[in-house]
Structure 1
Amino acid sequence: MTYFTRTYDWFTANADALLIGGIVAALLVLAMLALRWLGGKMVARDPRGHHWKGVVGRVLSRTSIWFMVAAALDVVARYADMPPRPEHLFYALFTIAAALQAAVWARELILGVVHRNAGEDPGGSTLGSATAVIRVLVSVALFGLALVAILDNLGVNVTALVAGLGVGGIAIGLAAQGIFSDLFAALAILFDRPFRRGDTIRYDTTTGTVERIGLKTTRLRSPSGEQVVMANTKLLEREIHNLAEAHSRRVAIPFGLGLRTPPARLADVAPIATVALASVPGCTLVRCVLVGIGSSSLDHELLYDDDSLDPDANAARKAKVIAALLTGLDSAALLLATPTQTAFSAAPDGTLILPWAPTTGRGEA
């Protein structure tokens, strides 16, 4: 019996099974093509992957034709009673295609989650740089696992390979632990978003505006103009004050009145401060109270909220508030304190001579 005769007899004996397997395989391919098309539509509606639909669409759109064909052949082989060699060949093809396709799906899912959690790029080039690094690391890890799975399913002993990969990974991790530490810190900043590019932050005694969040360092521009570079790991170990997340700026203006100011006149200070703050739009009085008695002054504190987060606008409004406060105090004849020393003397008969004239109702410095 010739080869062609045996093949014809096999097709004749398995015609029904081949037909059913072909129909199932065709339906499977059509379903995967439909899911791939749907994924492309979802990606087109959300190209940046800010929502879960975009992430799922990104995964579905990366379904390869090679995997569809391998899956269809495997379905046909399972329905038909194929000879061992073709069946083993189709199984090997499906194993390779399925492992590689699973790695691609997993990679796109991880990168999609990265993009979704990061949202708009908060760190300039950080998202692009981090994505490139993450893509390399994830691709190496996932395709390495896919290779191990393929070899294991094809009957290859992968114990020594897995052990070698484990030892190599530990060696690389120990050698580059500093780099990975800063990288993970950059990813923590990227995902947790304690600050973004353009935010003004303060840590320790340093204040600056974030210019760039890199994979290893964060660069800030200080108010005096120089650039401050800080390692991401060290930066996250500190207590960070994000000034950009404030709803308003609370500003304190300390001032003092002369010690000879009559106590009854102190009640006029708060209304004067209220009028001064009302003359500056965007500023709201919190309190203006007497906070202490100094060696030569009655110490007051004016506290107000400025609804602007711009440092230049804050400084300009503060100057206006101070000017309005000085005008109000001068109109009310309340004099600011100046550092003074009082010398007391006595007449020949021992009578104390006061170093000031009798009060006339005006506050004396």
Structure 2
Amino acid sequence: MNLLEFEIWHNDGRHWLYAAAAAVGVLLVARLLKGLVHRGLERRHRATARAIDGALAAVLDGTRWFSYLTLAIWIGASFLELTAGAERVLNRGALIVLLVQLGLYGQIAVRRGLEIWQSQKQEGASSQTATAAIGLLARIAIWTMVLLTVLSSLGIEISALVAGLGVGGVAAALAVQSLLGDVFASLSIYVDRPFEIGDFIIVGDDRGSVEHIGWRATRVRSLGGEQIIFANGELIKQRIHNYGRMQERRIDFRIGIEYGTPADLVEKVPGVLKEAVEQQEGTRFDRAHFKEYGDSALVFEVVYYVLSPDYTEFMDRQQAINFVLLRRFEKLGISFAFPTRTLHLKTDGAERTDNARPPLETRLEQSN
């Protein structure tokens, strides 16, 4: 028997041979074209460093083997006489594979686009969480559209399904409201940038350095060493003091000298204070004034700036200023005041009769 005349599913051997040859040819040509285009994009990307060329190469590299096979079978089947049912199954199958491949292309494009965007912005580690969240939402949207399109191509009525998904989505959103609030709060933290990893922040009574910004929570390492975990949704509702954005530190402090200090020495104190500050490197003097008459001291106020946000450096400068003031005041004979209170007691007369009451100190001694 001539094999070319042997029929299988209403097609003789000649038609099957044509179909097989076409399928193999399409498969080889598709792989060859893909390789040529991919190598061309890679060469141009290396030569020009254009991010779009690298992204297109990555997207093209995401073509799966089943896509090549489906294309080859679909074109090869055009040389055969198929029943209406077989042709419908073949076309729907090819459409489903095409939609899945487009979904893969979209997923790769989103990932590469976010990588390019993040590299161009040169953001730190704090942006990785937000980028991952955006990528996740984009992938969910892509595959939801692919799924709905596939169901529609299969003849399934999706309007009721979409309505059901809407109701179910509302119920699910209510069930995970807190979790979703924290996720969107992490995006808000990324967009608004109230703080970044490494910043020292104060939130209420808690303070520490930001270690990690996650989808749901932010971790802070306190000064005592323990880790404090804030839910993102609650964190952004509170007032945050961010010392990581500090460019320079403003310092104001007060000192007091004794009331018995002579006026000419009192007038020298602002100059001594200014000199003590200006002797320190990395500082900028602002002012020094005799501020007020305190309860037990003549009070002077000093304002200066440390040209660094580092707390240890501030303490080093303040300590050096205190040492200078201690030596200068000792040399000038100026004494620092300390809390004291003088009581003036008045008696009724210089001479006390028998009926007169003794002074207060005497009465206290008698009562004891």
- TM-score, normalising length from structure 2? 0.69
1:121 aligns to 2:125 (yes or no): yes
Any conservation in 2 of the 1:251–1:305 contact (CA below 8 Å)?
A: yes
Any conservation in 2 of the 1:107–1:139 contact (CA below 8 Å)?
A: yes
Secondary structure, counterpart of 1:212 in structure 2: strand
| TM-superposed deviation, 1:210 | 1.6
| TM-superposed deviation, 1:321 | 1.9
2:221 — aligned with what? 221
1:152 aligns to 2:152 (yes or no): yes
Quick one: which amino acid aligns to residue 276 of structure 2?
A
1:355 — aligned with what? none
Judged with a 3 Å threshold, the aligned counterparts in structure 2 of structure 1 residues 90 and 266 are, in CA distance, closer, same or farther, namely farther
Judged with a 3 Å threshold, the aligned counterparts in structure 2 of structure 1 residues 227 and 137 are, in CA distance, closer, same or farther, namely same
Judged with a 3 Å threshold, the aligned counterparts in structure 2 of structure 1 residues 267 and 341 are, in CA distance, closer, same or farther, namely same
Secondary structure, counterpart of 1:300 in structure 2: strand
Gaps of 5+ in 2: 351-368
| TM-superposed deviation, 1:232 | 1.1
Quick one: which amino acid aligns to residue 196 of structure 2?
R
Q: Return the alpha-carbon distance in structure 2 between the equivalents of residues 42 and 63 of structure 1.
A: 20
1:363 — aligned with what? none
Judged with a 3 Å threshold, the aligned counterparts in structure 2 of structure 1 residues 177 and 26 are, in CA distance, closer, same or farther, namely same
2:316 — aligned with what? 316
Judged with a 3 Å threshold, the aligned counterparts in structure 2 of structure 1 residues 144 and 40 are, in CA distance, closer, same or farther, namely farther
Q: Return the alpha-carbon distance in structure 1 between the equivalents of residues 270 and 168 of structure 2.
A: 72
Offset from partner CA, 1:53-80 (integer Å, 9 cap, x none)? 76666545434354466568878999x9
Judged with a 3 Å threshold, the aligned counterparts in structure 2 of structure 1 residues 292 and 186 are, in CA distance, closer, same or farther, namely same
| TM-superposed deviation, 1:344 | 6.4
Residue range with higher mean Cα deviation, 89-98 or 310-319? 89-98
Judged with a 3 Å threshold, the aligned counterparts in structure 2 of structure 1 residues 146 and 279 are, in CA distance, closer, same or farther, namely same
Q: Return the alpha-carbon distance in structure 2 between the equivalents of residues 244 and 140 of structure 1.
A: 36
Any conservation in 1 of the 2:129–2:215 contact (CA below 8 Å)?
A: no
2:253 — aligned with what? 253
Quick one: which amino acid aligns to residue 222 of structure 1?
S
Offset from partner CA, 1:240-281 (integer Å, 9 cap, x none)? 122112112222222123334455545533432333223332
1:299 — aligned with what? 299
| TM-superposed deviation, 1:175 | 0.8
Any conservation in 1 of the 2:329–2:335 contact (CA below 8 Å)?
A: yes
1:362 — aligned with what? none
Judged with a 3 Å threshold, the aligned counterparts in structure 2 of structure 1 residues 172 and 337 are, in CA distance, closer, same or farther, namely same
Residue range with higher mean Cα deviation, 32-41 or 242-251? 32-41
Residue range with higher mean Cα deviation, 279-288 or 243-252? 279-288
Judged with a 3 Å threshold, the aligned counterparts in structure 2 of structure 1 residues 173 and 344 are, in CA distance, closer, same or farther, namely closer
| TM-superposed deviation, 1:26 | 9.0
Secondary structure, counterpart of 2:143 in structure 1: helix
Judged with a 3 Å threshold, the aligned counterparts in structure 2 of structure 1 residues 81 and 285 are, in CA distance, closer, same or farther, namely farther
Any conservation in 1 of the 2:248–2:305 contact (CA below 8 Å)?
A: yes
Q: What aligned pairs does 1:13-162 form with structure 2 within 5 A after superposition? A: 33=35, 36-37=38-39, 58-67=58-67, 88=88, 91-112=91-112, 114-115=114-115, 116-117=117-118, 119-122=123-126, 127=129, 131=132, 138-162=138-162
Provide the alpha-carbon RMSD of the alignment. 4.5
Q: Return the alpha-carbon distance in structure 2 between the equivalents of residues 150 and 70 of structure 1.
A: 16
Gaps of 5+ in 1: 12-17, 46-50, 351-365
| TM-superposed deviation, 1:235 | 0.7
Judged with a 3 Å threshold, the aligned counterparts in structure 2 of structure 1 residues 312 and 344 are, in CA distance, closer, same or farther, namely same
Secondary structure, counterpart of 2:314 in structure 1: helix
Judged with a 3 Å threshold, the aligned counterparts in structure 2 of structure 1 residues 325 and 151 are, in CA distance, closer, same or farther, namely same
Q: Return the alpha-carbon distance in structure 1 between the equivalents of residues 43 and 267 of structure 2.
A: 70
Judged with a 3 Å threshold, the aligned counterparts in structure 2 of structure 1 residues 302 and 59 are, in CA distance, closer, same or farther, namely farther
| TM-superposed deviation, 1:105 | 3.0
Judged with a 3 Å threshold, the aligned counterparts in structure 2 of structure 1 residues 42 and 176 are, in CA distance, closer, same or farther, namely farther
Secondary structure, counterpart of 2:194 in structure 1: coil
Q: What aligned pairs does 1:161-180 form with structure 2 within 5 A after superposition? A: 161-180=161-180
Any conservation in 1 of the 2:270–2:290 contact (CA below 8 Å)?
A: no
| TM-superposed deviation, 1:90 | 5.9
- TM-score, normalising length from structure 1? 0.70
| TM-superposed deviation, 1:135 | 6.1
| TM-superposed deviation, 1:146 | 0.6
Secondary structure, counterpart of 1:334 in structure 2: coil
Secondary structure, counterpart of 2:299 in structure 1: strand
Judged with a 3 Å threshold, the aligned counterparts in structure 2 of structure 1 residues 157 and 334 are, in CA distance, closer, same or farther, namely same
Secondary structure, counterpart of 1:324 in structure 2: helix
Q: What aligned pairs does 1:277-288 form with structure 2 within 5 A after superposition? A: 277-288=277-288
Quick one: which amino acid aligns to residue 146 of structure 2?
A
The number of aligned residues is 329
2:237 — aligned with what? 237
Secondary structure, counterpart of 2:126 in structure 1: coil
Offset from partner CA, 1:21-42 (integer Å, 9 cap, x none)? x99x999876655554466679
| TM-superposed deviation, 1:327 | 2.3
Any conservation in 2 of the 1:35–1:61 contact (CA below 8 Å)?
A: no
| TM-superposed deviation, 1:7 | 6.8
1:339 aligns to 2:343 (yes or no): no
Name the % identity: 26
